[in-house]
Structure 1
């Protein structure tokens, strides 16, 4: 279980070591007309995504047995970049196990940060098995990309910031992969705002879990799978989803691409496909606000190849 108290402790622990990212208020063209939306710009965070918040919290709160040990994590990219960034800040060694499907731009970033990169398997689940073995062999602290209490609580600090930066918002739209971000934010807000998870139709971990009543394996096939590529919702996310009544919306890859392109063309925000998912829900009409509803969308990361952005 992850609670608001855990999130508050994470904010005290991490303190000024990470950036307090800004909120930008924009107007988006939606099927129902122009819609004012607040964007929480986590792509400006250290390491290029929200993930540094959780990794740093977990390392700072490590138990005595791992006080001087290195860190190991399985990651398709962003969680590994965050772990490597946090480890570098604290002078700790870091090994990141990535699947073969990991984007080259993220692997190159990992190596530039000084992490040991191990390629193993086709999917995140394969990399996780290898990371677990390495952690056992080396006595290392093993981080999880999304299903570790301290990681979820660290991500949840975004929710505390949103309550202060966008108090008018009634609904928070959050991209979902394994569910750590949406769970942390929902735990932090403790029912003060509605939290809705947005995920590709080709990677519906939250949607499938809510339908089944518990996490289930899903087939992942999406343009955003490098960041939203978990094949199963995390147990922590499922627990919070039940307690906080987190909603779920699916979007198509075409809508994600359109949203990513619009964020660049209209606002010069260079983001990865996963980060555009909440905006895609609004542009496509997959999520239609009711009268009086005020929306904030979390833009979760920017670790992308800039050559794939529109040129016009």
Structure 2
């Protein structure tokens, strides 16, 4: 494995800085997807925490270091999830947090940011315009600009998910990760490739927000003029050069998800993993047999194991998407080994 900015020892140490509320999130076996995919599918539920996303793993590390160094303020741009996480972590450490967001961001997320005590500034534009404004505030006021996927702390905080996946039983063959700015993909990918090199890491991005995937394929930063997806957490137009190059150090496969309305993702998770079944569907390709689904963080109730998202299952050999009926997976089952299954 080639060297990156990330360090596995620091990632292990990061767990000590993160509030236990955000660690060891549930890992469920979703049997509803097995008939269509022909493999065992486990869903890691990263919405089962107070800010409903994995982002707090990174902001806990960032704000812990800021408080230890005597810093009193920080600013970030956010589509909603990072802002909530930074507001939560900053409040607990007495930091003055400012979040810049698009006024078109989900109202529930904006209200939650305000409720957590952060200052909120709205811009007439998308996330990338909010990012430019946050950078201006940081320069003018001399405060820390927290940029998810650019800050090594956010990547290594997200990487603790990878530690939990690798340490969990049973073993698995592939991990699918939602791809936005790259913090989650970089962190989880680094750990999985370092500790379980035989596992395939696949990044999933909406067709309507393909900037990072195009950058990965062309080996240069590629921007888009607009985005077209309801998955606001991964709707970026302008990948940063540093986050793109970090993500490209380890061998992964980025994929675009097909945009189907009400295509289900069992669990509002940020990562999913798969282990093979003895029964391979004759009509399915090798990729469709091996891969499972992942969705960006959302506000679906964490107690429910079925949700909808435009980050749809990549099931190239499936004749139809799995059922969108929430009752299809009413009672998540803990991921435990099943008789007759094998791993390849």
TM range (shorter): 0.7 to 0.9
The 1-side partners of 2:286 and 2:207 are apart by 14
Q: Which residue is 1:214 aligned to?
A: 220
Higher helix fraction (1 or 2): 1
Alpha-carbon separation, structure 2, partners of 1:33 and 1:158 = 24
Please report the TM-score for the alignment, with normalisation by the length of structure 2. Answer: 0.74
Determine if contact 2:271/2:294 at 8 Å carries over to the other structure.
no
1:250 to 249, 252, 256: 256
1:198 — aligned with what? 204
The alignment partner of 1:231 has SS state of coil
Matched residues in 2 for 1:56 and 1:286: separation?
Answer: 41
Q: Could you say which residue in structure 1 is the equivalent of 2:237?
A: 231
Conserved 8 A contact 1:69-1:141: no
- Contact 1:84–1:115 (CA under 8 A) maintained in structure 2: yes
Q: Per-residue deviation at 1:96?
A: 0.4
Q: 1:32 to 1:44 in 2, by over 3 A?
A: closer
Per-residue CA distance 1:126-161 (angstroms, 9 max, x = gap):
111211222233332211133211111111110001
Larger Rg: 2
Structure 2: runs of 5+ lacking an equivalent:
274-283, 309-324, 328-344
Aligned pair count reads 290
C-alpha deviation, 1:166, in angstroms? 4.1
Match in the other structure for 1:27: 31
State the partner residue of 1:266: none
Q: Equivalences for 1:1-312 in 2 at 5 Å?
A: 1-14=5-18, 16=20, 18-29=22-33, 33-62=37-66, 67-191=70-194, 192=196, 193-254=199-260, 257-260=262-265, 263=266, 269=267, 271=268, 275=269, 288-290=287-289, 293=290, 300-303=296-299
For residues 235 and 3 of structure 1, do their structure 2 counterparts lie closer, same or farther at Cα, with a shift above 3 Å needed? farther
1:282 maps to none
Residues in 2 aligned to 1:92 and 1:60: alpha-carbon distance in whole angstroms:
10
In 1: Cα distance, 2:111 partner to 2:61 partner: 25
1:13 CA displacement: 3.0
Mean CA deviation greater in 76-85 or 217-226: 217-226
Deviation at 1:47, TM superposition (A): 0.9
Select between 14-23 and 152-161 the one with higher mean Cα deviation: 14-23
Deviations, residues 36-92 of structure 1 (Å, cap 9, x unaligned): 20101101133110000111111212387x623212111010000110011112121
**C-alpha separation between the residues in 2 aligned to 1:38 and 1:207?**
24
Is the 2:45–2:270 Cα contact (8 Å) retained in structure 1?
A: no
Shift in CA distance, 82/63, structure 1 to aligned 2, threshold 3 Å: closer
Change beyond 3 A, Cα 1:287–1:2: farther
Q: Give the unaligned 5+ runs of structure 1.
A: 264-268, 280-284
Aligned-partner Cα distance in 2 for 1:120–1:67:
30
User: Are residues 276 and 154 of structure 1, via their aligned partners in 2, closer, same or farther at CA, if it must alter by over 3 Å?
Assistant: closer
Q: Compared with structure 1, are the counterparts of its residues 180 and 236 closer, same or farther at alpha carbon in structure 2 (3 Å cutoff)?
A: farther
Deviation, 1:173, is 0.2
Deviations 1:92-142 (A, max 9, x none): 121100012211111111111111110013111211121122223333221
Aligned residue for 2:66, secondary structure, equals coil
TM-score of the superposed pair, with normalisation by structure 1 = 0.81
